Each structure stands twice: as C-alpha cells, then as structure tokens.
C-alpha cells in the first residue's frame, strides 16, 4: 500500500515559522516521524512539499497511477484552492486532510476549507500526531476496500 503525503506552502519553515501556533519542531522532524510511522504500520510513503499550487496539482494527478491514498496538509491553499479540490476529485483516491493547528478556532478565513469538500476525513489541532492518525486511518480504510474487492 502506497500513500502520497503532501505538504503545502510554508510548512518547510516549521520550527522557524510562528512557533506559538505550529510548534518548535522542524519540517525535517515531521518528515522523519511520518517515515517512522509508515514503517511501523507497514505502508510505503512518498513525501512531497511545495510552495506552488500547480506543483501540488501535478503531484495529485500523478497519484492516479502511483498511490492508493493521499494524506494532505494543503496549508494556505486549503482556504483558496479550487484547483487542488478538483485534482483530488479527479483522481478520487481515499484522502485525509490534516492541519497542525486548530483551524476551527483561528481567523474566520481559515474556517472554510475547499479540500474538506472532498476529503473523507479531516484532522486538525493535533500537531504532528494528526499525520500519524491520518496514516493509520488511510491504512485501515484502504485495507478494508482491498479486502472487499478480494471477497
């Protein structure tokens, strides 16, 4: 089972960026935790971070042939990107949306998510742990789907 893990703009600056909101651990530490979790639960992960909307759209399109599910923190594009929503709908893979911070308790403009119009599960406010929960959910959900098709 292969999961594409996507991180959007400014997440590469974790640790430096607004530590009171996003914590003081680095992006490298997040990627390491994701790889370790994937190994523990027995899924393959491909990690991709970009500050560019089109690059994220391209990567989602490629997932059509290379992944069984998507874990995405679209960062600021969450609240603006119909293009990312459309790409996710086009490839139609099981998708979890994750946010480090609790977007439901922040500025009004962060409380609407285009990506949530497609994502089957949305996790926010749990920091790095949200990525772990998302990977676990995808692994169980895709596992059940595969089993159903085998029966």
What positions carry a catalytic annotation? 22, 99
**103 near ligand DQA (CB under 6 A):** yes
Among 51, 101, 116, 141, binds ligand DQA (CB under 6 A): 101
Nearer to ligand DQA, 57 or 142 (CB): 57
Among 29, 41, 46, 110, binds ligand DQA (CB under 6 A): 110
Rounded least distance, CB 21 to ligand DQA, Å: 7
Rounded least distance, CB 37 to ligand DQA, Å: 17
Contact call for residues 21 and 64 (beta carbons, < 8 A): no
Strand-pairing partners, residue 3, are 45, 69
Among 6, 75, 84, 115, binds ligand DQA (CB under 6 A): 75
**73 near ligand DQA (CB under 6 A):** yes
CA distance 84 to 101: 20
Q: Is 1 exposed, middle or buried (0-12, 13-18, 19+ CB in 10 A)?
A: middle
- Which residues ranging from 19 to 58 are in contact with ligand DQA (CB under 6 A)? none
Among 31, 34, 43, 99, binds ligand DQA (CB under 6 A): 99
In order of 40, 88, 90, 146, the CA distances from 76 in angstroms are: 30, 16, 21, 33
**119 near ligand DQA (CB under 6 A):** no
CA distance 132 to 82: 26
Site string for ligand DQA, 1-20 (x = CB under 6 A): ---------x----------
In order of 18, 108, 126, 148, the CA distances from 102 in angstroms are: 14, 12, 8, 35
Q: How many Cα atoms occupy the beta-carbon half-sphere of 58 within 13 Å?
A: 8
Binding site for ligand DQA (CB under 6 A): 10, 73, 75-76, 78, 99-101, 103, 110
């Amino acid at each position: 089972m292969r999961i594409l893990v996507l991180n959007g703009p400014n997440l590469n600056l974790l640790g430096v960026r607004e530590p009171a909101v996003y914590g003081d651990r680095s992006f490298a530490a997040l990627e390491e935790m994701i790889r370790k979790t994937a190994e523990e639960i027995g899924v393959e992960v491909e990690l991709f971070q970009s500050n560019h909307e089109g690059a994220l759209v391209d990567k989602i399109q490629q997932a059509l042939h290379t992944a069984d599910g998507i874990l995405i923190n679209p960062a600021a594009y969450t609240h603006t990107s119909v293009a990312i929503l459309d790409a996710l709908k086009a490839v139609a893979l099981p998708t979890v949306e994750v946010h480090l911070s609790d977007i439901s308790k922040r500025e009004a403009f962060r409380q609407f998510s285009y990506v949530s119009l497609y994502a089957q599960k949305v996790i926010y406010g749990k920091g790095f742990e949200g990525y772990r929960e998302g990977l676990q959910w995808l692994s169980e959900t895709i596992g059940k789907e595969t089993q159903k098709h085998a029966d």
